[in-house]
Amino acid sequence: MSNEVEEIKDKLDIVDYVGRVVQLKKNGVNFKGLCPFHSEKTPSFIVSQDKQIFHCFGCNEGGDIFTWVMKIDGMEFGEALKKLASDAGVTLTRNYNPAQNDRREKLFLTNEETCKFFQKNLQAPIGKKALDYLKKRKLNDKTIKEFRLGYAPGGNALLKKLIAEGYSKADLVNAGVTKIRDSKLVDQFRNRVTFPIINSGGRVVGFSARVLGDALPKYINTPSTDIYDKSAILYGICQAKEAIRKQNHTIIVEGNMDVIASHQAGVKNVVASSGTALTERQLDILKKFSPNIKLAFDIDPAGDLATRRAIEIAFSKGINVKIIVIPEGKDPAEVVAKNAKVWIESVKKAEYVMDYLFNKLFIDENLNDILKKKKATREFLAFIAKIDDFVEKEHYIKKLADKIKVNEDSIRGSLKPKKDNPANQDEKKKTASKNDLRERIEKRILALGLNNPKNLPLIIKELPEEDFKKPETIMLYKKVKNHYNLSKGFDLKSFGKLFSKEEAESMNVLLLKCELETEDLTQGEISDEIFYLVKKIRKLNIQNEKAKLAEDIKKAEARKDNKWEKKLIEKMQLLLKKEQKL
């Protein structure tokens, strides 16, 4: 397996894959762009063609080509392996048979077969009523096919079919397509229009199914499984992801039909929260494609509450938010059915979130009642506090002050966070700073050696193992020294194979950071920095020894052990002389 992974990496270039999502510019030997995982204006996202890794120095997301595909397309490792193996023309060995070895893969296969069964039923006489319902909702054949809509008949037709094809009862229950009722196994979905839920990688993970008629519940969904978690999936993401990247924003609606109707109307960068309140995990998925969203939730008491909650989560993640206000109809599907142009124009006229909130909160009813006014002000202040941009923050402070007729400084004062005890904070900062400095120096000197192995003899000669104090760098130094001595030289690629995947990624990030910082330095300047860092490490070691000796001298003095105190003072004097020579 590891040989196949390495073969795939050798045949594919991570720059090609990242470049499909991120606009990259050549930056020395590396490539730089805006991070797709967090909002930023100055690029801190680096792709190394030499090391075949990506890393953002702003949010610390990073990894190899497998990590990239898994994060961007929402895949598990096995799925990413199959995709990349296909791209690279690498045949996976028989030892890796997902259908047998991967329980998740079995669930995917079960859901795929179920989806095909439902699709076939919709186009058969048995599905006429369901097809008529979809046609009544003005969906055309192309849209029905694209979203793989189907029909689940009554009885246990699915159960009988899949059992006959060799699927076990356990497979069907685990996939959520059947359930146990009155001690018997029965189909989960009966007499319903089916909407397959497809992940960003294009695989069916579950279903949402609507009843034909007025029975309740109107919709039922696949229960939670190993591949389906309602809070971590967005309906329509597979069909919308390319449009989201192209338009650089996602439209979020509430229902499946809203997504499908919008898509058919030409607005394709739309997904649904599947009837649940928008979750952090769903926003994390969307942020991979674009840091901008437009919310089109129902403007009723329940919808408005969901909108505000979604805004709060988006703010905390640095996601830019606009609100779509629909002048006609209750939801996008109804609007599109009446007049698609109204929906399209509403999307274009989406209102910036802060202005939307301001207009919603400070209506006359709230301004004329002091308690409601206080509540509205408190809510709006919470959003102002989350704004990072100074100009924008000042704009809304002034706007709020004018509206509620108070002094701007009073509002600024209410936004100031409470301060912790200064003494405690100073002590914490000193300790953290000292530890961070030591770790930075030790990592830096090793990175300088690894990025250019010509420097390793100098580092090994000047610094013995005991000069390193941090566990991570001690381990790295030992491996560097042993590999160098055994190989009588140094090959970074073979050296990387001595580490676990996580350790190798951590080392590559360290090397990439050092590479970026030293790309304009000459070899002579790098050698000078190594000598400086060697001296710094020695000074830090002496300072640690001095601090320990000072404590021991105090203890000897307290015990009135003059003889021992004298010896300790002599040691201190030797250390001081040693320090002066550095």
pLDDT band, residue 429 (cuts 50/70/90):
low
DSSP helix/strand/coil, 468: coil
Q: How many CA atoms lie within 13 A of 5 on its CB side?
A: 15
pLDDT band, residue 122 (cuts 50/70/90):
very high
Inter-residue contact 234 to 205 (CB < 8 Å) = no
pLDDT in tens, 285-338: 888 778 899 998 765 555 566 677 778 888 888 888 999 988 765 789 999 988
**Closest C-alpha among 255, 240, 323, 249 to residue 287:** 249
Q: Enter the pTM of the model.
A: 0.64
The burial class, CB within 10 Å (0-12 / 13-18 / 19+), for 142 is exposed
What are 342's two structure tokens? 């109204």
Q: How far apart are CA 213 and CA 226, in angstroms?
A: 32
Inter-residue contact 262 to 251 (CB < 8 Å) = yes
pLDDT in tens, 223-263: 988 888 888 889 999 899 889 988 989 999 988 999 999 99
Q: Would you state the pLDDT for residue 420? A: 56
pLDDT in tens, 148-167: 999 999 889 999 999 999 99
Where helices occur in 278-389 by DSSP H, the ranges are 280-287, 301-316, 332-348, 353-361, 364-367, 370-384
What are 119's two structure tokens? 């699709």
Characterize the bridge pairing of strands 30-33 and 45-48. antiparallel
The burial class, CB within 10 Å (0-12 / 13-18 / 19+), for 87 is middle
DSSP helix/strand/coil, 524: helix
Q: Would you state the pLDDT for residue 427? A: 52
Q: Is the pLDDT of residue 89 over 70?
A: yes
pLDDT in tens, 361-386: 888 877 888 888 888 888 889 888 88
- φ and ψ at residue 187, rounded to 5 degrees: -65, 140
Q: Would you state the pLDDT for residue 94? A: 47
pLDDT in tens, 181-217: 888 999 999 999 999 999 887 889 999 999 998 788 8
How far is residue 92 from each of residues 12, 84, 160, 201, measured CA to CA in Å? 16, 11, 33, 20
Q: Would you state the pLDDT for residue 100? A: 42
Q: Would you state the pLDDT for residue 139? A: 94
Q: Mean of the pLDDT values across residues 393-420?
A: 84
Q: Is the pLDDT of residue 527 over 90?
A: no
Q: Is the pLDDT of residue 98 over 50?
A: no
pLDDT in tens, 497-517: 777 777 777 888 888 888 888
Domains of the chain in start order, with CATH, are 2-96 (3.90.580.10), 103-228 (3.90.980.10), 362-415 (no CATH), 426-581 (1.10.860)
